[in-house]
Every structure is written in C-alpha cells, then in structure tokens.
Amino acid sequence: MKSLILLLPFLLLSFAARSQSRVDVYVCSHEIPGFGKLVDQYVQHSWRQGRTLSESQAELSLLARNYQDCQRFKLAIEERMGSGDEQVEQQRQGRRGPRLPRLPRLPRLPQWPERDRDTTPRIVLVTDEPSARGAQIVQQSFATTAPWSCMGVDVVIEVMDRAELGCQPRNDGRPRIVECSAGASRRAQALRRRLNAKRVLIVVDSDMQGGNGGSTPVITTSFLQHSPKAGMHEIMHTMGFEDTYDPHAQYAATSGDIMSCTSENCYVLERDWGRIARAMNTRIPESCRAD
C-alpha cells in the first residue's frame, strides 16, 4: 500500500501529460492525407508575405500548441492563410488591419514524412525575361506534347530580375551551345528544391541562339522563337536522352525522335514514354495517346 501511495504522483503526472498532449506537423501528416501539401502551401504563403522559412515553421509550431486534434489544427492553418491574404489586401489599399503579435523564433520543425509530401510531378521554368514569353512557349510545349500532356505535370514559371538570377549567357565555341553562370545555376537549383520540383530550366532572355542540357539546362528566348520545343529538348537531356540531329539540316531531324529536333511538329516516341515517367516519378495513364 505504501508503494502504491508513492507511485500515485507519478501516475497522475503521466495521465496529465497524456491529457495535455498536443498535435504537431509530423503527427498530422500521418493522420490526414495531403496535410504535407497544406504545410507546403502555408510556407509558400508566408514566404510571399516576407517571412523566412524558419519563421513560418516557428509559427506552425506555436499554432500547434493550441490543439489536440489534427483536423482543428488543419482548419487553423487554412484560416491563418485566409486572414493573411486579407491583411495584405488591406495594406495594399492603405488601410491598416489588426497587427498579429510577433512570434518568437523556435527550433526548426522536423520534416513531414516523405510519403506525404506533395508528389505532383513539377518542372520549374526560371526566366529573367520580364514578360516571361519564352517560358510560356516552353510551358505550352509540355501542355501539348504526349506523354507530358497526359501526366499532369505542373509547369511553374518563376520570373527573376536579371541581376538576381545572374545568368550571363556565353557560348563555349560549339554550335548552338549556350550556358549560364554557375551562380545562376545554383539559384535555379535552390528554387527547384524549395518548390519540390523534379526538373528546372533557365529561360534566359538573350539574342544568342541555343541552349544546353547540362545539370541545370538552359534555353534562350531567341532560340525558342523558331524552335518552340527546344526547352523540352534540353530537359530531356537531363534524363539521359541523346541528340540525333540530321547532319544535313540546321534544325531538322531523322526518325521523329524529339531528341533529334526542336521544331514545332516534334513528338516523343511512345517507346520512351515510360522512361520519362520514371524520371518524373509518375506513371503514364492508359488513356494517354500521341498528339
């Protein structure tokens, strides 16, 4: 009996700890499908409002302390995103909205499980062309060419200031080979990782004619004017596809393989569809048909 009395405080403490347990991002990503994607959206939302990654993660951690239920935590995140949009709009119109208290910096949250991350096959087009016209040409080529048009690939365009991107296009002496600076490649790859994309392409605003399919592929806006599928061509180089140019024509091809031409009527051979899908970590729907 005496030993039971001595154990009673510890039992009560254990019960109280369980009754006061709170949710967190890691737990809820297991419990609610798509929760990881919502957190991704919240981080992007916070970034657009000027907060750093560590600040937005600290906000999530602090918010989680108020809830014991993942569904309520999810609703609170969604409401926070909505109220943030209203506050930005109020400031844009010159009206001061209610100021949120500044949250303390907290340790970085653990990453949510890989299986619950946003698994959308995504390609990022980074361009220093203010109108993004060249990037839109590349985007359209993916939307109209099988199997890309069947896979639900999310082709995102990010416009960066020329000085911020820092691409200094240069030719290394080979025909139609145009490269960017190492700094531009690092910035493009950092953006790819932040947006959880499989591939990235720099669309540089330049009068030079060409591109390249290196680790960070590049295509020039001038080249896209007469070779609209050249961006797709360069991205496929990162998947191991090789050039098979017709030596008797400047931009023509043999065999119909997309890697052998960059003209408007090129297509990807059906035998290569599975290879592309594996590189994008997705599958080809049975309903997919060649364009």
The dihedrals phi and psi of 28, each to the nearest 5 degrees, come to: -70, -25
How much is the average pLDDT of 117-146? Answer: 90
The verdict on 67 and 167 lying in the same domain is no
Q: What is the CATH number of the domain that holds 133?
A: 3.40.390.10
Q: What is the pLDDT of residue 171?
A: 86
Q: Which of 92, 107, 133 is the last residue of a domain?
A: 92
Q: Which residue segment(s) compose the domain that 219 sits in?
A: 119-279
Structural domain contains residue 82: yes
Structural domain contains residue 286: no
Rounded percentage of the chain residues whose pLDDT exceeds 70: 69
The verdict on 168 and 55 lying in the same domain is no
* 260: CB partners within 8 A, 6+ apart: 243, 244, 245, 246, 253, 254
Helices (H), 147-220: 162-165, 182-194
How much is the average pLDDT of 35-62? Answer: 74
Structural domain contains residue 288: no
Structural domain contains residue 198: yes
How much is the average pLDDT of 134-153? Answer: 92
Structural domain contains residue 285: no
**Which tops the pLDDT comparison, 144 or 43?**
144
The verdict on 45 and 177 lying in the same domain is no
The verdict on 231 and 123 lying in the same domain is yes
The verdict on 61 and 131 lying in the same domain is no
> Has residue 98 got a pLDDT over 90?
no
Helices (H), 50-106: 53-64, 70-92
> Has residue 97 got a pLDDT over 90?
no
| pLDDT per residue as tens digits for the range 196-254 | 999 999 999 999 989 998 889 999 999 999 889 999 999 998 998 877 655 444 444 44
> Model pTM greater than 0.75?
no
* 177: CB partners within 8 A, 6+ apart: 171, 210, 211, 212
